Amino acid sequence: MKKILTISAAVTAALISGSTLAAPKISAQSIIVNPVQSDLAVQVSVDRDNSGSQIANYQIGDSVRVSATVNQDAYVYLFDIDAAGKITQILPNRFQSGANFLKANTTKVFPAAGDSYTFTIDGPVGLNKVLAVASKTELNLSNISQFQNNDSFATGKVEGQQQLAQALSIVVNPLPQNTWVSDTALYSVSGSQNTSTGSLFVGSSVPGSIVFLNGRQVGGANVTYTGLQPGSYNVRVATPGYNEFNGTVSIRAGAVVNLNVDPVGTVVTPVQPVRPPSTANIQLRSSVAGALVFVDGRQVGSIQNGGLNLNLSRGSHEIVLIAPGYRTFVNVYNVNQGGTITINPTR
């Protein structure tokens, strides 16, 4: 997201631990998540998807506005992470609307009406994310960003969503439970000319992951790969010390496919080769009673008594939870063995 500043004369351009701590979870999809249920809620969205539940589409040269809402008085911090991992701190900033203390049940828009700057999409093409972190107490971001001289926007000290998540984890980890929360809005950027190819964003919650497309190594994770011809692609994500992810995605012209991988387990080489079972029993847990559950596009049941048993084949599966009054939850899981998946959609 590029900051195009039209300056007025008055403006100078320029993871769960002990009982009292909330250990943040680093997630490929949501970047950083408080695993403890909180009564504080924040919602972030872009102007082409006010619900914050879909992936809005923009082209290079378009303008974008970001909105944030909290249900309690809180300090709100906004970061934009583009397809190449570049981080822009949207809030707080030094413009008239740049104060980051938001009152309960109010919505602030950036840029606000009358602001002397705009946010203009300048690429690269691919999947962008806007991360909102709300806290009941003010956060110290001195190790994440810094205002230089009379600059109106802070300069980031970290690059890439993995580094941002780790830095934020250090900031929020000492805070009491239920005092901070996060939300993420997604939007895709396409070029203004070529719409015959598609893009693939591959995210990983573990650093050091290597991505292979159709058997060819193409680079690291948390990167958007562009210029892909439409069709099916085998995706392999190898992470040292973890089981490999293997799956298939379908690339469409002019669209961005979002694939997030949370590597699980350590690699173990048995003395004797053992053929793993073809299926695994997964216990899907959720606090949202009656939520409809879809696996790979097919409805498989609903959440009853806090859970739903699933017998899934080994490999990659897309799981979707839909419940009235809650944001639609979508994620891709790599099933290697039985276990529990806990999903608590946000409102």
Q: Answer whether 7's CB lies under 8 Å from 150's CB.
A: no
Pick from 226, 221, 257, 227: which is nearest to 242 by CA?
A: 221
Pick from 297, 322, 331, 326: which is nearest to 28 by CA?
A: 331
Q: Where are the domains of the chain?
A: 2-190, 198-261, 279-342
Residue 282 to residue 213: CA distance in whole angstroms: 28
Q: Helix-strand-coil percent breakdown of the chain, rounded to 5?
A: 5, 45, 50
Pick from 169, 183, 336: which is nearest to 266 by CA?
A: 336
Q: Report the Cα–Cα distance between both ends of the chain, in Å, rounded.
A: 27
Range 151-165 burial, b when 16+ CB lie within 10 A, else e:
ebbbebebebbbbbb
Q: Residue 55: pLDDT above 50?
A: yes
pLDDT, the chain, mean: 82
Residue 96 has which token pair? Answer: 């008239």
Percentage of the chain exceeding pLDDT 70: 86
Q: How confident is the model at residue 235 (pLDDT cuts 50, 70, 90)?
A: very high
Q: Residue 270: pLDDT above 90?
A: no
Q: How confident is the model at residue 1 (pLDDT cuts 50, 70, 90)?
A: low
Determine the pLDDT at residue 82. Answer: 86
Determine the pLDDT at residue 52. Answer: 54
Q: Which residues pair with 301 in a beta bridge?
A: 293
> Which whole-number Å values give the CA distances from 172 to 32, 84, 142, 175, 244, in the listed order?
10, 25, 13, 5, 31
Say how far residue 127 (Cα) sits from the centre of its chain. 10
Q: Residue 249: pLDDT above 70?
A: yes
Does the pTM exceed 0.95?
no
Determine the pLDDT at residue 276. Answer: 57
Contacts of 95 (CB under 8 A, 6+ apart): 11, 111, 115, 116, 117, 152
SS3 268: coil
Which CATH number is 2-190 given?
Answer: 2.60.40.2550
CATH superfamily of 279-342: Carboxypeptidase-like, regulatory domain (2.60.40.1120)
Q: How confident is the model at residue 179 (pLDDT cuts 50, 70, 90)?
A: very high
Q: Which CATH architecture has domain 198-261?
A: Sandwich (2.60)
User: 291 or 193: whose pLDDT is higher?
Assistant: 291
Q: Residue 29: pLDDT above 90?
A: no
Q: Residue 18: pLDDT above 70?
A: no
**What one-letter code names the amino acid at 84?**
A
Determine the pLDDT at residue 7. Answer: 33
The average pLDDT across 257-285 equals 69
The average pLDDT across 115-124 equals 79
Determine the pLDDT at residue 9. Answer: 32
Determine the pLDDT at residue 50. Answer: 62
The average pLDDT across 276-296 equals 86
CA Rg value for the chain: 21
Determine the pLDDT at residue 297. Answer: 82
Residue 135 to residue 101: CA distance in whole angstroms: 10
User: Judging by beta carbons within 10 Å of its beta carbon (0-12, 13-18, 19+), is residue 205 exposed, middle or buried?
Assistant: buried
pLDDT 10s digits, 194-205 = 567 888 888 888
Pick from 222, 85, 88, 83: which is nearest to 159 by CA?
A: 85
Q: How confident is the model at residue 40 (pLDDT cuts 50, 70, 90)?
A: very high
Q: Answer whether 135's CB lies under 8 Å from 72's CB.
A: no
Q: Is it true that 2-190 and 198-261 share their CATH fold?
A: yes
Residue 111 to residue 96: CA distance in whole angstroms: 10
Give me the helices (H) in the chain, please. Answer: 161-172
pLDDT 10s digits, 199-223 = 888 888 888 889 999 988 888 888 8
Determine the pLDDT at residue 182. Answer: 93
**What one-letter code names the amino acid at 278?**
S
68's enclosing H/E stretch is strand 66-70
Q: Answer whether 245's CB lies under 8 Å from 236's CB.
A: yes
Determine the pLDDT at residue 53. Answer: 60
Q: Residue 115: pLDDT above 90?
A: no
Determine the pLDDT at residue 100. Answer: 93
Least confident of 53-57, 91-95, 99-103: 53-57
The average pLDDT across 22-38 equals 78
Residue with the two structure tokens 């934020």: 168
